Structure formats: C-alpha cells, structure tokens
C-alpha cells in the first residue's frame, strides 16, 4: 500500500460492466484505493470488445480492457445465488465505496439499490452511472455512450454540415468523461463522510454529462439566441477553424483575442493589406464578413507547408495546433514527457502504448502499478481475506458460486 496516495486505505467495490463506471474505479485505484471488481462467472463483456477495434482481447494481451481496469483485483461471483450475494455483502461490509452501472430495476431485484444498502451500510458512498438519469420517461432505457452521450446531446448531428454523414462517434469517449467526473463526486462524498460520518449517493448519467459538456452549444442554440448548428464552412469563426496547408496538412487557429492578434496574423500570412479593410476592422466586423475572410485565409495558408506555419505562429505566440491523428499520439514527445501515455508489457511479452489517467500528484506517482486482472484472478485471495476457510472456498467453487483460477 502506497500511503503517499490520497485514497490509500479506502476500499472500492465495483459491480459494473463496459467502461464508464469501471473507468471511475480504475482512476480511484490509481489514486491509491483498493479496488475490487465483481464480475459474473462469464465475465464483463468488455473483456472481448477490443477485437472490434483490431486489438487482441485475450488473457495474454488485452489493451482495451487495460485502460479501464488497471490497478484492480477481480472476483467472479454468481449473484443469482444466495451464496454469491452473501460474499458480495461480506465485501461491502469492508467497503468505503460501491460503484455500479447496473439498471435500477436489476439493482432493486438484488436489493443492491441505494435505499437498501443505505440502511445496511450507512457509511457507504454509493456511486451509480446511468444512461439517461434516475427519473423521467427514459429512466429504464439502456444507453451506451454512442446513444446517450453522443446521439442524444446533439454532438453527432450538429458537428457536421447539413446533409453530410453524421460524425463517427469516438469509442468510449463519453464513458471515460463520465467516469472521470464521477471520481470527483465520490471523493467529495468521502470528504463529507469525514465530517458527518454518513455516506451518500453520487449519481451521474451519460446524457446529463453530455448536456454539461455541450453547454455552450445547447445554450446558444435555444430559441432566445438562435445560434446555428450545424455550421457550414463559411459560417464558422475564421479565427477558430482549421486551414489546409500546402503539404495537405491542417493547421487549426484559436485566436480568441482578435484585436491583439489580428495585426500579427496578417503579417504572418503576408497580407498586411487586410488591416486597412473595413470589413475586418473589429471582431464584430470580421464575424459579419466571415464568408469573405475565410477564402482569403484559405488561399494564404495553402502557400506554405505546415512546418513553416507552425514556426511563424509560434514566434508570434498565436495559439494553434497541427491537427494530429489518433495514431500520432504514441510518438508525441509532449505526451511522453508528462506521462500522459506509458508503455505496458503484457504476459506474452508484447508492448503497447496506453493512455494514463489525467490527474497528476506531486507525491505518490501516477502510473498504474498493477495490470488489469484476469477473470476471477483474485477470487481465492479475497475470500481468504474475508475469513473463508479452504473448505468453504472449495464448496463455493464446486457449487459454481465463485469462479477462481
């Protein structure tokens, strides 16, 4: 146990599948908590998902599984059986936090809903992830992040011009956002418990998170303001869109202070004549005449390779970025320098570059110290910690209540 980490000494029980809730538990494990993942004897379906993205998904190498499940121990229980439920409650008696993403109806059938556990474990912090929230007409609808986060919020339909094919949603992006935010809620509830002695329920949904993250677009497009989405190319802010360079790369500008940086930008692109153009005198003038300015900037940026533009923009302190591809990150020196990515070695000796969770601590380190668990890898270990005898463990195995290695 690393006592330097902020959650050292806390125990998390995770009864969850796929990504959002497990990602939260993984980060809490990165922060020092003892995380125990409870799976069915068949295992979490996410164990095999990596195959759909051309990655191995087996016991020797499973990078997709690793992202949301490093720094955990795993126990496999059949919760349809009374004996399996008893083991889970034995674990909950030792827990500080319970995290789940099971549907509310299913939790109630197992007496694992918040009200049932609150009465039995008043100090327990209960974290739950739902698709659409805990009330309303869609409360019982299933919702992966593709549907509840991307589809319902407007992201997929409104980030492309009218008539174009909707954006292909990035896999598990919304899940990881939800899991990361939930960590803050759970940590706050633990802090509150230190003051009051009482646990609490922390609830988050994929849909609710997407509404928060899309807040500026959702607010500005309401009938009162009528900002338009989707936007065509010539309807964008000329200072905050990408431009194609001579070598067919893309440079993305982010000039938010127009008055300060417009003269410098004009000099960089060798179009200082634009400074005398009344159409672009002020920020509001520029926005009113955006359809005229964008083609001018497109023509200018098409005259030089991206390396030249990066050098010029950096010298003028103008915020910009070369649009990278996902595949570029494994060689991004800035990512390596800050431990945003790390090299993971698998049981078969293969190595892969994986993302690290985003929070950094001055003390205690940040990289995963324990690879993701195999199905039932720690079942015997955890049962022994709970005081089960070898005979009792053998009985649970023979009755197929617990799966172990």
Structure tokens at 216: 């500026």
| pLDDT tens digits for range 364-373 | 666 678 899 9
CATH code of the domain covering residue 302: 3.30.1540.10
Which structural domain, as residue segments, surrounds residue 123?
Answer: 11-213+375-403
Residues annotated catalytic, as ranges: 175
Residues sharing a CB contact under 8 Å with residue 57, sequence separation 6 or more, in sequence order = 47, 48, 49, 50, 51, 64, 65
Do 252 and 392 lie in one domain? The reply is no
Nearest CA among 400, 397, 390 for reference residue 78: 400
pLDDT, position 346: 93
Strand, coil or helix: 119? helix
Does residue 227 belong to any structural domain of this protein?
no
Residue length, the chain?
Answer: 405
pLDDT, position 275: 98
Total of domains in the chain: 2
Do 168 and 247 lie in one domain? The reply is no
Task: Report how far apart the first and last C-alpha atoms of the chain are (Å, whole number).
Answer: 24
Among the ranges given (153-157, 237-241, 329-333), the one the predictor scored with the smallest mean pLDDT: 153-157
Nearest CA among 284, 307, 304 for reference residue 238: 284
CATH code of the domain covering residue 209: 3.40.50.10540
pLDDT, position 18: 97
pTM: 0.94
| pLDDT tens digits for range 92-139 | 999 999 999 999 999 999 999 999 999 999 999 999 999 999 999 998
Nearest CA among 36, 2, 5 for reference residue 22: 36
Does residue 310 belong to any structural domain of this protein?
yes
Do 203 and 243 lie in one domain? The reply is no
């Amino acid at each position: 146990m690393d006592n330097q980490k902020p959650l050292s000494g806390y125990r998390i029980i995770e009864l969850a599948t796929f990504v959002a809730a497990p990602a939260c538990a993984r980060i809490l494990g990165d922060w020092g908590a003892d995380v125990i993942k409870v799976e069915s004897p068949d295992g979490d379906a996410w164990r095999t998902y990596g195959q759909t993205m051309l990655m191995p998904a087996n016991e020797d190498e499973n990078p997709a599984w690793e992202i949301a499940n490093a720094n955990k121990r795993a126990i496999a229980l059949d919760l349809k059986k009374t004996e399996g439920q008893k083991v889970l409650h034995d674990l909950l008696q030792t827990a500080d936090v319970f995290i789940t993403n099971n549907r509310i109806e299913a939790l109630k059938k197992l007496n694992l809903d918040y009200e049932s556990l609150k009465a039995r474990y008043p100090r327990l912090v209960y974290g739950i992830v739902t698709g659409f929230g805990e009330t309303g007409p869609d409360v019982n609808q299933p919702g992966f992040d593709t549907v509840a986060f991307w589809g319902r919020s407007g992201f997929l339909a409104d980030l492309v011009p009218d008539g174009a094919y909707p954006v292909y949603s990035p896999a598990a992006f919304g899940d990881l956002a939800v899991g990361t935010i939930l960590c803050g809620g759970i940590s706050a509830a633990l802090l509150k418990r230190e003051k009051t002695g009482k646990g609490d329920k922390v609830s988050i949904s994929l849909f609710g998170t997407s509404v928060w993250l899309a807040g500026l677009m959702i607010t500005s497009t309401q009938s009162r303001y009528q900002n338009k989405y989707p936007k065509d190319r010539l309807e964008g802010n000329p200072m905050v869109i990408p431009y194609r360079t001579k070598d067919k790369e893309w440079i993305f500008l982010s000039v938010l202070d127009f008055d300060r940086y417009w003269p410098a930008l004009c000099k960089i692109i060798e179009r200082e004549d634009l400074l005398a153009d009344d159409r672009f005198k002020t920020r509001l003038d520029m926005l009113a005449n955006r359809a005229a300015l964008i083609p001018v900037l497109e023509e200018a940026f098409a005259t030089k390779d991206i390396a030249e533009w990066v050098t010029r923009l950096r010298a003028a302190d103008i915020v910009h970025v070369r649009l990278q591809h996902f595949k570029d990150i494994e060689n991004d020196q800035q990512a390596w320098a800050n431990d945003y990515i790390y090299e993971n070695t698998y049981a078969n000796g293969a190595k892969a570059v994986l993302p690290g969770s985003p929070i950094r601590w001055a003390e205690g380190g940040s990289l995963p110290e324990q690879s993701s668990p195999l199905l039932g890898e720690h079942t015997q270990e955890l049962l022994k910690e709970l005081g089960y005898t070898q005979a009792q463990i053998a009985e649970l195995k023979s009755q197929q209540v617990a799966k172990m290695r």
